[in-house]
Each structure stands twice: as C-alpha cells, then as structure tokens.
Amino acid sequence: MPELPEVESARSVIDRSGLGRKIVGVDDTDTYVCRPHAPGQIRDALAGRELVAARRRGKSMWCETSDDGPELGIHLGMSGKIVIADPDGGEVDGGDYWEGRRRPGDFRWSRFTLDFADGGRLMLVDPRRLGRVRLNPPVEALGPDAATITPAGFRAVLASGTAPVKARLLDQHAVAGIGNLLADQILWAARVNPARRVDALTPEDVTRLLRATRDAVRAAIRDGGVHTLKLVAFRLAGAHCPRDGAPMARSTVGGRTSWWCSVEQAR
C-alpha cells in the first residue's frame, strides 16, 4: 500500500500539472474503482469545472473543484499512480508507472480519466485495480498528518492505552500516513521495540519517535518513496542491523510483519 510519501508525490503531480484546466470529459465507467457512484455520476458532477487545489492527509488525497463543486477523492490503492498526458499522448508529469517497456501513449491500465479542454488528460493508472475514486471522501475521520503533526499532538497519540506502539502508529485515526515500512523505520531509528505498549513509553522514547517520524517522512519524500528508507533492505531473513550488526528479528505486531534489531530494540 502506498504510504504518505508516495501519495505526496502523486499530489505534487496534480499540483504542478493538473490545476486550472477545464474538465470537458470524465471516464468513470469502472464501477469498482468509482464505487459507490454509478457511471456518469462523477462525470456530471465535474464537467465544466476545474481542479483548483490538491490536498492530502496521510494516505488520502483529494482535489477541490471550482464554483464550490464537490471534492474529488483519489486513493492510489497498492499500485496506482497519477499520470498527466499531453494532447499527443505523451506524459507531461507522473513518470513511468510499471516495470518494463511500453510505447508512448500506452495507458492500458487507466481506471479513471479527466479530459481537459486543452486536450490533455489526468489518469489514475492502476495495474492491480485497487485504487478508488469518489466524491467528497470522508477525510475528517483521519488523524493528524504524520508530516505535520505537532509535538503536542504526537504526544497525545501515544499518551494512553495498552496497544503496541507499532499498532498505534499504523492507526490512521490516530496519526495519518504511516504504513508498515515507515513504522519499522521509525521504530528502528528510535530504538523502540514494535511490541512495546504505549503506556510503557517514556517521555524520551516519545521524543525519539517524533524525531524519527519527521526524519523518515522527509527522507522518503526527498528520495522517492518508502522503498528508499535505510531499513528496507534489511527486512529479510539472515539480515543484520545496519547500525550495530546484530541479527534482525521478525515478529507480527498489530497484524503486520515487523522487522527490528534483536539487540537495540530488544525491549
């Protein structure tokens, strides 16, 4: 599942190349991706409008539309990417979106399209068809964004309860945007065991976790995604911690596979 950095990258594509362009057509015929809307419902709501702002909270992204129109929510699923094409079918923004070769204009996995009056297109390209497009997405239920959460807000997230700290970090209602790879990186950088209960964290632990969260999010956005984080290459059997050389340990926390240093994160 894309995490905050990947969604921020997609939001930036729309912000750079998709705003202020009149929408003259919408392909919303994929009833699974566009559920619960019937074909034509999103088209009718957006035709004649423009995208005027691209927003994100955590892993959720949405666009404001002109003339007090509805918000357009876009969820990338596991493999989705925003691609903006020019009138000739070449990519203006969004980069390559699947491994292997393809011909210019080959957008066979486009699941949702906005056609602009200037001939360009914005597409949700999603080989695995797990993305989602909907009007007025319920983003208000999400917690504060992991990239901008305040120290007080972060402390509040970890202030009470008996949940494992990793499970709390993954809870999108507590703090939005942290997925499995980001969580493991954050906990490793802070030297905190993923299974430690939040009520057992010290103030120093929380301070290190906040610093690690900020550093991991910043680095992943800068370097192209969570797959670039330092710990990712060491999340496998037989690997050793890149900091102290101890064997990496594996466990399941909050229903997710977790990798951690067997010495520095032992408790």
Residue spans of alpha helices (H) in 65-179:
151-157, 165-170
Q: Assess contact for 123 and 113: CB atoms under 8 A.
A: yes
What is the chain's mean pLDDT, rounded?
93
Fill in the DSSP letter of residue 38: P
Q: What does the pLDDT average to over 143-156?
A: 97
Residue 218 structure tokens? 């910043």
Say how far apart CA 98 and CA 86 lie, in whole Å: 19
Note the pLDDT of residue 222: 93
Note the pLDDT of residue 155: 97
The residues, any chain, with a CB within 8 Å of residue 113's CB and separated by 6 or more, are 25, 26, 27, 121, 122, 123, 124
Record the pTM: 0.89
What is the set of domains in the chain, with CATH numbers?
4-140 (3.20.190.10), 143-261 (1.10.8.50)
Note the pLDDT of residue 108: 78
Note the pLDDT of residue 105: 65
Q: What does the pLDDT average to over 55-79?
A: 95
- The pLDDT-based confidence of 15 (bands split at 50, 70, 90) is very high
Say how far apart CA 208 and CA 216 lie, in whole Å: 12
